[in-house]
Amino acid sequence: MGRRRAATDPSYPRWIWIATAATVALLIFGGAFVLRTLIFPAESGLGGPTAGNDNVPPAGAPLAQDSPAAVAGSSPCISLNILTSLENAEMVRSVAAEYTAKPRSVEGKCVTPALTQEKSGVAAAQVAKQFPGVPAGDRPAIWLPDSSAWLRIAKESAGGSPDPEAGMSIARSAVVVAMPETMASALGWDSKPPSWSEVFRMAGDRDVWERLGHGDWGKFKFGKASPLVSTSGLMALTASYGAAGGSLGGVDSMDLDASSLVEKVRAVELGTSHYMATPEHFLWHAREADEAGKVSEFLSAVIVDEKSVWDYNRGVVSEDGITKQSGPPPKEPLRAIYPHDGVHVADNPAVTDGDWVGTQQRLAAQDFLKFAVTEHGQNVVKASGYRTVQGKLDAGVAGTGRYAEALQPLPLPKAEALVAMQDSFPEVRKRARALFLLDVSESMVQEPGVTKLQRAKDAVRKALDHFTGEDEVGLAAFSHVDDGPLQPGIVSPVAPFKTNKADLLAKLNDLKAVDATPLFEAVSRFTGEQAKEYKDTFINTIVLLSDGKNDSTHPGDLGGLSEQLSHQNHSTPVLVFTLAYGPDADVPTLLEIARASGAHYYDATDPNRLEEVLGELVTSF
């Protein structure tokens, strides 16, 4: 296997900026951090229910009992900083709450866990970079991603040191294929699980529902999260390689640079309807479609962790992966499908110890993790939707989430293979056919200093680094004067990026603000044109950036536009990703446009976040 640059290498020319720009939440810690003396998981993979955690008894053996202090330690408490992934933050927070519910004393001090959550890939990138100048007290004493994959990637990107040792798994969650139950039943997968190859083959068969008598379900819509920032996305890409190479558990032995394998993976990825940054994005929109009466308008299948299926089926979803919203259960629950040739398992490993961690923090971290694998701690894990380190399930959770009782775990690839697959993503992903649609109304220049329009130009210019030569990209803008026509319209037609990049950049630079905001007319016109030129082998999309409200003097209304977008989404889906730019943007309207088209809304109402938010948006295709 050829040696590729690590995706977290600072000289990496494209894509990784998306992962690092996707969010700056790590700045809460005062900057990025590195666990220079991490305890990394063993390279043996996830071969059994307690692999990677030698401190836990095997299945059937009793777990240790919690042993809280007789009296809580004195103040001020030891602040125990814990960095988690988006996926497991709620579970870790619940474990921390139970830990502090009993008196704790470490070196005579009480302990206060402080959690921060971050996308897995972003955290791994920061770990590998070794940012200097971060106050020791602001760095985490525990890093708890949801998969050992990110520990391996961080280690590989940092140059292969320190030597790997066994980490401490505190919970497990399988990566599965989630489908609306009626769809799973129509394929027979609820009773006879498919192989991963069958899953990918079905995803590429866009007319399957028509043949099965369900033409009203439209095309087969198959979603995946980004392998650069999400565990389920990374494991989905790993499964693509495994299926393409004929061995789900043999990725480490494959030549991942071989052109024949790369072409097969590209063929597998053609079945993807679109990518999104995290699985939470997909499930949020699935719930919106369910509430509107037909989840099939948005989703046929998506690769997620099983805990997310449990959340969805009990009415818990999140638009951003951070803030959870609870409501009644969906009209149609999801079925977790476990392909019969095995599943990858997120093992939620805890890693500790950096040279900035003082003795008290180190002892507090050990005390917390000791609690996490006690019977009490593991009961919290079960109640939070996870399997315990011994593979046990809560019966109620398993019923709601449609969990399989037993798992057939696939081995986790080694660090070099994981990084190589991430690096290959720009090459193997499904190509995008994207039109950037910019609001150039007068309000885009009504501010001192660097105008919103100039910031928008700069952000789009940076976002173009996401695309490769085989993508097709164009640029349009919209405004009008008085009752005049929409202008300037298409300024650089959608065309192969390798041939029109220079023209696109030049036309972007020349854009000037005009006057009003014919939002509905612009979206209707350009989505209609994109639908007429729809290409099934591309992800057809519009990136809409607007800072204002529709000017009612121009034709169109939101109801009619939503109907048009929903109709197009059924057969020739053009995904309209909307980005609210500035505090005066019409957020409800932009939310509805994204929802009706089957895409996602992004919030840059704080103009300073535009580049970061647009960077996250373009991971969606």
pLDDT in tens, 112-170: 999 999 999 888 887 777 545 667 778 888 999 999 999 999 888 876 543 344 469 99
Residue 374: exposure state from Cβ atoms within 10 A (0-12, 13-18, ≥19): middle
What's the pLDDT tens digit per position in 446-498? 666 778 889 899 999 999 988 999 999 999 999 988 878 889 999 999 999 99
pLDDT digit string, tens, across residues 353-409: 667 778 999 999 999 999 999 999 999 999 999 999 999 999 999 999 999 999 999
| Digit-coded pLDDT (tens) for 280-325 | 888 998 998 899 888 888 899 999 999 999 999 999 999 878 888 9
Residue-wise pLDDT for 222-247, tens only, equals 999 999 999 999 999 999 999 999 99
* 52: Cβ contacts below 8 Å, ≥ 6 apart: 41, 42, 44, 46, 148, 166, 167, 168, 169, 347, 349
CA distance 204 to 200: 6
Q: Check whether 70 has a pLDDT greater than 90.
A: yes
Identify whether the C-beta of residue 408 lies closer than 8 Å to the C-beta of residue 342.
Answer: yes
Predicted TM-score (pTM) of the model is 0.85
Instruction: Kindly indicate the confidence band of residue 219, based on its pLDDT and cuts at 50, 70 and 90.
Output: confident
Q: What is the CA radius of gyration of the chain?
A: 24
Tokens standing for residue 453: 């329009």
pLDDT of residue 55: 56
Cα→Cα distances 463→18, 126, 365, 440, 572, Å: 8, 21, 40, 18, 25
Q: How many CB atoms are closer than 10 A to CB 607?
A: 18
Q: Where is 91: in which H helix or E strand?
A: helix 89-101
**Distance (Å, whole) CA 41 – CA 352:** 12
* pLDDT at residue 131 in the model: 44
Q: What is the rounded CA–CA span in Å between residue 574 and residue 395?
A: 41
Strand partners, 81: 114
Paired residues of 479 in beta bridges: 487
Domains contained in the chain, CATH given: 16-172+348-388 (3.40.190.10), 173-344+418-424 (3.40.190), 431-620 (3.40.50.410)
pLDDT in tens, 524-582: 999 999 999 999 899 999 999 998 788 777 777 899 999 999 888 878 889 999 999 98
Contact (Cβ atoms closer than 8 angstroms) between residue 597 and residue 621: no
Q: How many CB atoms neighbour CB 79 within 10 A? A: 15
Residues 321 and 285: their CA atoms lie apart, in Å, by: 13
Q: What one-character DSSP code corresponds to residue 40? A: P
SS3 state of residue 266 = helix
For residue 614, give the nearest of 10, 22, 6, 8 by alpha carbon.
22
pLDDT at 6: 41
- Cα separation, 366 vs 588, whole angstroms: 47
**CA–CA distance, 479 with 547 (Å, rounded to integer):** 12
Q: How do 168-169 and 349-352 pair as beta strands?
A: antiparallel
DSSP 492-551: EEEEEHHHHHHHHHHHHHH----S---HHHHHHHHHHHHHHT--TTEEEEEEEEESS---
- Distance between CA atoms of 398 and 406, rounded to whole angstroms? 11
Percent of the chain whose pLDDT exceeds 70:
88
Res 584: pLDDT: 86
Q: 246: which residues sit within 8 A by CB, 6+ positions away?
A: none
Nearest one of 126, 307, 340 to 231, comparing CA atoms: 307
Query: Across the strands, what pairs with 488?
Result: 478
